[in-house]
């Protein structure tokens, strides 16, 4: 048990010292939320509903970014610095190493969610029933699994700068086409049709439904599950090929 706790502590320290996490997962979503709810007029007929909707957009945007970028880039860095190889020759079981990573990533996501929810309350006085806060938080935590799987796929890349550039591009395109920065309805029809099949839209839509008092749509759950399986299979296949070389 002491070994497990020590590994968990190490993962947490390394995560919260990561500048990618601080910028992409905390600072940027909160700045966006402030800009699009307090500074820029969106013309939303119901300001309170828009504040709630955009709060969930930024919470999902934050968690998606940390799952794709922070996890993926960290895996590449550890492999390039020889950390992964070193861990394999230590007495630490591989399962404990993996659990430490998942624990650290979960705490990172939970921290992001709490900070952004608090920002929503402080900036716009967002007030929701206690259960709605809990349901939204749980959905964002659980439904982030496909992006964690995508993060492990990014982690298969050989160079940090390549992983950083590609993960940035994936993250920003998914956020735009997923309706996280602006409602999907204002985008051209072809972009809307593409967006509705992306994991980012289905991730966000589940939270948007919950904040309105509705359960996530089954299509959101099934599409996210499909992407999770797809990304995991590709990631496992890629890693096995790399290890075989």
Whether 22 shows a pLDDT value over 90: the answer reads no
Residue 73 pLDDT level (bands cut at 50, 70, 90):
confident
Instruction: Provide the pLDDT for residue 209.
Output: 96
- The answer to which of 29-43, 88-102, 163-177 has the lowest mean pLDDT is 88-102
Cα-based torsion angle of the residue sequence 32, 34, 35, 38 in order, rounded to the nearest 10 degrees: 150
pLDDT, residue 149, reads 87
Q: 88-102, 106-120, 204-218: which has the highest mean pLDDT?
A: 204-218
Neighbours of 86 (CB within 10 A): 11
Does 75 or 196 have the greater pLDDT score? 196
The token pair that represents 174 in the structure block: 């998914």
What per-residue confidence (pLDDT) applies to 5?
62
**pLDDT of amino acid 168:** 86
Q: 184 CB contacts (<8 Å, ≥6 apart)?
A: 177, 178, 191, 192, 195, 196, 201
């Amino acid at each position: 048990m002491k070994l497990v706790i020590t590994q968990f502590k190490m993962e947490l320290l390394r995560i919260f010292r990561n500048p990618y996490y601080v910028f992409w997962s905390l600072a940027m979503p909160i700045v966006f939320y402030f800009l699009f709810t307090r500074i820029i007029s969106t013309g939303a007929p119901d300001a309170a509903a828009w504040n709630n909707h955009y709060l969930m957009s930024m919470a999902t945007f934050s968690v998606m970014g940390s799952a794709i970028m922070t996890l993926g880039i960290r895996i590449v860095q550890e492999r390039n610095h020889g950390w992964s190889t070193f861990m394999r020759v230590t007495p630490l079981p591989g399962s404990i190493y993996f659990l430490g990573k998942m624990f650290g990533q979960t705490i990172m996501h939970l921290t992001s969610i709490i900070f952004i929810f608090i920002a929503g309350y402080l900036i716009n006085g967002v007030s929701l029933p206690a259960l709605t806060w809990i349901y939204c938080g749980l959905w964002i935590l659980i439904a982030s699994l496909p992006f964690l799987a995508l993060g492990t796929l990014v982690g298969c890349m050989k160079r940090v700068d390549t992983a950083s550039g590609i993960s940035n591009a994936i993250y920003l395109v998914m956020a735009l086409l997923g309706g996280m920065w602006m409602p999907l309805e204002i985008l051209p029809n072809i972009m809307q049709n593409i967006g509705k099949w992306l994991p980012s839209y289905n991730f966000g839509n589940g939270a948007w439904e919950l904040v309105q008092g509705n359960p996530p749509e089954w299509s959101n759950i099934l599409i996210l599950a499909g992407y999770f399986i797809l990304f995991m299979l590709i990631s496992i296949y890629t890693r096995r090929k790399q290890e075989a070389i």
